Amino acid sequence: MIVSTPISELKVGHFVVDINEQHGTFKLTNAGHIKSINVINNLKTKGVISVSIDTSKTLIEESTSQVPKPSKPSKNKQEVIENLKQAKELFSQSKQIQQKVFSDAQHGLPLDLSPVLDITDKTIDTIFDNSDALACVINIRNKDEYLLEHSVSVSVLMTIFARFLKIDKSIIQELSLGAFLHDVGKIMIPPEILNKPGKLTEEEFTIMKSHVNHSIDIIKRTPEIPALSLEVAALHHEKLDGKGYPFNVKGEDISKYGRMIAICDVFDALTANRCYKEGFSHIKSFSILRSLAENNHLDATLVDQFIKCMGVYPVGTLVELSSNKLAIVESKNSHDPVNPIVRSFYNAEEKHYEESQDIDLSDEEDFIVKGVKPDDFNLDMNKIIEFLLMEG
């Protein structure tokens, strides 16, 4: 039976068909059950006075309908902030070690693997424990530190991807190390070519491509470097059609791990901001990855697995909600990929920061309107993270 019910009598478990009376112009996206008290409170804030409910679809008895159903436990705010803080410190330490690696390579000194192994092991342990915070942090980019941050981020992405594919941890350690060192040869490329904002000439591109050869030479001179680490560094610019570089390796001659790092390398290059260009959105970057796979540059199956690994809205990206709030994606909902768990922090309508709030979009009327970039709202990702850390 369809009956009209005042908002004050609406309860968890009721099946709402439509809005009867309201002060505003709010519209239901679709009929459905009330899953939590928060949904009712949201309807009240929208000015809803009464709704139509289908009593035949009520899930629980009236006497207990105000008691929400048990749901999966959410992390407490302090825990999320602490994880984010530790991840930020780890990323900063990784960049410092990367700086030393580049400096040693530039001066012809042998690379000291000890701190590199230590930091990549810490990164792997962090990702195995909770990859979300670190995935969030790699979205904080300094436009003037692309070379350092790219190598660190590719190592993080490679680790996250390998864990998703259930690759053995001992192999992941070698993959992470190779990814961390994959671009060390770029320190040998003249800065005017390395940082050129426009398209490279044919001669300049030939010089740029030589960075892989330099990386191979530097890594080969490093004592006790695993063969797999050298392999992934050597293959990161090869393409399945044989038109990659430096060796024009083709098809099945490119290992699975070489195909994986190629995807991670391209994805990070696409999404990163640089001093001369803004990065693409994650959705746009996923589209480009698929296009490259269709053209037989990247492995199509692995590209689809990578996108599934990262999620429709990857952890650490910003989204605009229907409530006019900006939020950062905290974790994925495997049962509902388009409705992740987010933390709101900014009122886009009134243009000010506000107390952050955890929102599981799979349990709320609120929904993602679109993915956004900080620049769209004259915000800085570093300041956003600092704001969230200060709240802790």
The pLDDT score that the predictor gives to residue 277 is: 79
What is residue 38's predicted lDDT score, i.e. its pLDDT? Answer: 67
Q: What is the mean pLDDT of the chain?
A: 88
Please tell me whether residues 87 and 60 are part of one structural domain: no
* 154, 165 Cβ separation under 8 angstroms: no
Planar angle of CA 60, 66, 70, nearest 5 degrees: 70
Q: Give percent of the chain above pLDDT 90.
A: 57
Domain boundary among 284, 310, 336: 310
Give, in degrees to the nearest 5, the angle at Cα 293 between 211 and 214: 10
Asked, for residue 218, whether it belongs to a domain, the answer is: yes
What number is the average pLDDT over the span 131-135? Answer: 85
For 59, the token pair is 């899930």
In a domain, 70, yes or no: no
Structural domains of the chain, count? 3
- Exposure on the CB side of residue 234, measured as CA atoms within 13 A: 17
* Residue at 140 is within a domain: yes
Does residue 71 form part of some domain? no
**Pair 387, 347: CB distance under 8 Å:** no
Mark whether 215 and 248 lie in a shared domain: yes
Are residues 306 and 322 located together in one domain of the fold?
no
Question: Is residue 262 domain-shared with residue 376, that is, in the same domain?
Answer: no
For the CA atoms of 124, 130, 136, 137, what is the dihedral angle to 10 degrees?
-50
- Higher model confidence: residue 75 or residue 18? 18
Rounded to whole angstroms, what are the CA distances from 379 to 3, 17, 70, 135, 374? 47, 39, 37, 20, 5
In this structure, the answer to whether residues 322 and 304 fall within a common structural domain is no
Q: Looking at per-residue confidence, does 135 or 269 come out higher? A: 269
Among candidate residues 278, 310, 342, the one where a domain is terminated = 310
Neighbours of 66 (CB within 10 A): 12
Shared domain for 234 and 101, answered yes or no, is yes
Q: In sequence order, what are the beta bridge partners of 342? A: 329, 359
Asked if residue 380 has pLDDT above 90, the reply is: no
Cβ(184)–Cβ(213) below 8 Å: no
Range list of H helices, the chain: 37-45, 77-106, 113-137, 146-164, 169-181, 191-194, 202-220, 227-235, 256-271, 282-294, 300-310, 381-391
Q: Residue 198 — very low, low, confident or very high, per pLDDT cuts 50/70/90?
A: confident
3-state DSSP call for residue 183? coil
Do both 250 and 112 map to the same domain?
A: yes
Tell me which residue range forms the domain holding 95.
Answer: 77-310
For 138, the token pair is 């790699």
pLDDT of residue 55: 79
Residue that finishes a domain, picked among 39, 64, 89: 64
Q: Which of 3-12, 41-50, 250-259, 358-367 has the lowest mean pLDDT?
A: 41-50
In a domain, 72, yes or no: no
Residues 131 and 215 both lie in one domain: yes
- Mean pLDDT, rounded, for 69-97: 74
Q: What percent of the chain has pLDDT over 70?
A: 94
Q: Which residue has the higher pLDDT, 130 or 160?
A: 160
Residue 267: inside a domain: yes
Residues 116 and 178 in one domain: yes
Q: Is residue 121 part of a domain?
A: yes
pLDDT at 66 over 80: no
Question: Do 135 and 49 sit in the same domain of this protein?
Answer: no
Phi, psi of 355 (to 5 degrees): -55, 130
247 plus 346 within the same structural domain: no
Looking at residue 177, which CATH number applies to its domain?
1.10.3210.10
- pLDDT of res. 221: 95
